[in-house]
Amino acid sequence: MNVELYNQPLSSIIADITIEFVTPQQWETHPHAPLLSMAKFEGKSEQICLLHEHKLIVCGLDNESSDEYRSAMTSVIKTLLDTNYTCAKLCIPKEIYFHAVIEGALLGGYKFQEYKSKPKTSSLQTLFFAYNSQYDFEHFQSILHQTLIVSKATNFVRDLVNQTPYDMTPQTMAITAEALAQTNNLECTILDVNSLESENMNAMLAVGRASVNPPRLIHLAYKPNNPKKVITLVGKGLTYDSGGLSLKAATSMVTMKMDKAGGCAVMGIIKAISELSLDIEVHAFVGAVENMIGGNAYKPDDVLVAKNGKTIEVRNTDAEGRLVLADVLGYAQEKVKADYIFDYATLTGACMVALGPYTTGVMGHNEELKRSWLQAAEASGEYCGNLPFNPHLKKLIKSDLADVCNVSSKPYGGAITAALFLDNFIDEDMKQKWIHFDIAGSAYTESAWDVHTYGGTGAGVRMTLEWLLKLQQQGNN
């Protein structure tokens, strides 16, 4: 969908239909209040009333907030996509809500139809915004430009996550990264099995050993001149997870194409960063692996030697993502001296138990850093919750056989113990600069909510770009 901004009155813009938002307090004084009343319209959140004869669609808001405008615009767009209107227009709301309305249109109107034999087409092509003032027009253009890039990057991630495991193998993920590097002027390095062996990435290799699709490590780099900061992003890229020999139940295997969402997220983030031309150097690392079963699969009771030399007792082969991340985190820290390192992973079902299916778990040692991320998430429209470390939980991943065990000895605090496992592979000088994001619940949905349709949500993209934009702004001050 095209989104365009015009510095002229709404009445001067030619469109098929006009969009209006009203609160419960406003609709009763609306020029078409009698018609709205006949339709039992009360201005409630996301309530829609289409007045075709007046070429008008009215949507309710419980209150004026970014979340309300985002959700309301999503409802409007979904309604209009089922009509024959080709273009719509509306006035820009207050500046602080402008980005949310754009996101509601682009993210709420997202559809993934690659596997439909007869994709459903929509007539709606263009959305016009009217801003009738000589002041700050360039500022609103900048908001539009930035939000379009972030929203399209989010939808790019959704497309990758929604690809089936047959189509999106580790090799295909590497090819996708190479294509992204070419179009966005990024550096790209791909490590195959031989290179992974030479780097002593034995934990990652063990996870992918039984698959006919060999693993790949992807390293994308965006390097502007004189960067203010250097950021490392690490993503779990399990293109499919059967659970290995600790085989998942059949119902749990469905949707496991989403286990690559962390790797897809960091690719989408660096895509947006390059298009926004931020003065921040960013390195995105993806451990692309498929966890399958076979005669050569790694086993419970195996002891693996990670890249940093630490030994890992395997007690469950379905706790594989943390093994991949252990090696990728070690490799990333060895190759790049960063100011911060952040990892994104659909790591634990326990995170969903703790925070629900919509919220990303935020873990790390630095309380101030975590707070800055919670604030960025709130500003971006994503949900995050802090899951605190404590030394007693750390004791649950001790191993009598090796340096650390890949699962906890008790079935409690699983999201936190998984993060504490990863902590073993964070260098001492980076521990206060590291955050782990568990996106197991937030990265994929089977029922629509807010701007999210069925499938991948693009979790992590909007909040990370919000955090990075604030970081750049602080560097400019």
Query: Span 214-226, mean pLDDT?
Result: 98
Q: Give the whole-angstrom CA distance, residue 374 versus residue 376.
A: 5
How high is the pLDDT of residue 70? 97
How high is the pLDDT of residue 477? 64
* 338 pLDDT tier (thresholds 50, 70, 90): very high
pLDDT in tens, 18-30: 999 999 888 888 9
Query: Is 462 known to be catalytic?
Result: no
pLDDT in tens, 87-104: 999 999 889 999 999 999
How high is the pLDDT of residue 28? 83
pLDDT in tens, 424-472: 999 999 999 999 999 999 999 999 999 999 999 999 999 999 999 999 9
Q: Give the whole-angstrom CA distance, residue 84 versus residue 445.
A: 28
What is the strand order of the sheet 280-291 is part of?
187-191, 216-222, 280-291, 229-241, 340-345, 434-438, 359-364, 383-386
How high is the pLDDT of residue 25? 86
In this predicted structure, the answer to whether residue 14 has a pLDDT above a threshold of 70 is yes
In this predicted structure, the answer to whether residue 280 has a pLDDT above a threshold of 90 is yes
Selecting among 89, 236, 271, 322, the annotated active-site residue is 322
HEC string of 198-260? HCCCHHHHHHHCCCCCCCEEEEEEECCCCCCEEEEEEEEEEEEECCCCCCCCHHHHCCHHHHH
Q: How far is CA 46 from CA 104, 332, 350, in A?
A: 12, 44, 32
In this predicted structure, the answer to whether residue 211 has a pLDDT above a threshold of 70 is yes
pLDDT in tens, 242-262: 999 999 999 999 999 999 999
Give Cβ neighbours of residue 345 (< 8 Å, ≥ 6 apart).
235, 236, 262, 321, 322, 325, 436, 437, 438, 439, 440
How high is the pLDDT of residue 254? 96
Query: Is 322 known to be catalytic?
Result: yes
In this predicted structure, the answer to whether residue 294 has a pLDDT above a threshold of 90 is yes
Selecting among 78, 152, 229, 248, the annotated active-site residue is 248
Q: Give the whole-angstrom CA distance, residue 145 versus residue 139.
A: 10
Across 16-173, the runs of DSSP E, i.e. the strands, are: 17-22, 48-51, 56-60, 87-91, 126-130
Quick check: 61 and 68 in contact, CB under 8 A? yes
Provide the β-strand partners of residue 434.
341
How high is the pLDDT of residue 133? 78
Please give the domain boundaries of the chain with CATH numbers for all domains.
Answer: 2-135 (3.40.220.10), 150-476 (3.40.630.10)
How high is the pLDDT of residue 135? 74
Rounded to the nearest integer, the mean pLDDT of the chain is 97
